[in-house]
């Protein structure tokens, strides 16, 4: 979610992130996304978690993607036939994100896709409480300082019938700490593991509200 630029001294394994574009084939469509590592850092490249999420994707009628970056997951959700998809990130990334949406969504489906600013934990009143069937996040669990606001945002967007799908690598202890925090508010199950990319997909459903007797 954070815009974290990197310097030019990158490892060879990261070379694909420095390509000006990335191409995929999902939902019987070719998807071509512009990338710009130097300008927007991690927000402007396609991470493996987004690719694995698209391979697995379940859809509800109304979807929202958090920390979308290049928008791959939200774009594929729209191509798969979601009734409405809201693709979100910080304001500096929106123009870049909107360009990728316009490039890859057929004109007759553009009305079903909205690119919108969302900083976790802020301005949530602009989004309907429990108003989404599915909440999507690919590789958004990496900055520990954002965990409380991310959880607050997930809770706000979800109802007890919503599904949250998170795709991520488990790199550090803080990542497992986030899952522990998530399990205090959601029922969480690992539903897919991509061994080649070392990506886990977790499905979370909001726990019923506690009713004091």
The series of mean pLDDT values per 10 residues for the chain, 213 residues long, is: 43 60 81 83 77 68 93 92 93 94 94 97 97 95 94 97 94 94 97 94 91 57
Distance CA 51, CA 65 (A): 14
Q: Domain spanning 42-206 has what CATH number?
A: 3.40.50.150
Domain ranges of the chain: 42-206
CA atoms within 13 A on the CB side of 202: 23
List the structure tokens of 173. Answer: 């202890």
Give pLDDT, residue 5.
42
Distance CA 191, CA 110 (A): 30
Distance CA 206, CA 192 (A): 19
CA atoms within 13 A on the CB side of 72: 30
Place of tokens 């809201």: 86
DSSP β-bridge partners for residue 25: 30
Distance CA 166, CA 135 (A): 8
List the structure tokens of 201. Answer: 């997909």
**Residue 206 Cα to chain centre, angstroms:** 18
Give pLDDT, residue 28.
74
Place of tokens 């509200």: 209
Give pLDDT, residue 27.
72
């Amino acid at each position: 979610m954070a815009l974290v630029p990197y310097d030019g001294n990158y490892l060879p394994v990261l070379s694909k992130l420095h390509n000006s574009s990335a191409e995929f084939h999902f939902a019987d469509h070719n998807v071509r996304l512009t990338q710009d590592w130097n300008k927007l850092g991690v927000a402007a490249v396609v991470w493996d978690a987004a690719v694995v999420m698209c391979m697995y994707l379940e859809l509800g009628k109304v979807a929202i993607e958090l920390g979308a970056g290049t928008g791959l997951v939200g774009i594929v959700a729209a191509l798969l036939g979601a009734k409405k998809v809201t693709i979100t990130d910080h304001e500096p990334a929106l123009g870049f994100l909107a360009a990728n949406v316009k490039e890859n969504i057929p004109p007759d489906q553009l009305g079903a896709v909205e690119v919108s600013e969302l900083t976790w934990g802020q301005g949530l009143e602009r989004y309907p409480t429990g108003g989404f069937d599915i909440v999507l996040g690919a590789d958004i669990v990496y900055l520990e300082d954002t965990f409380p606001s991310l959880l607050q945002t997930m809770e706000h967007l979800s109802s007890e019938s919503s599904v949250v799908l998170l795709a991520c690598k488990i790199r550090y202890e803080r990542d497992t700490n986030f899952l522990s925090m998530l399990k205090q508010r959601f029922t969480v199950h690992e539903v897919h593991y991509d061994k080649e990319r070392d990506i886990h997909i977790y499905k979370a459903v909001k726990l019923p509200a506690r009713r004091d007797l």
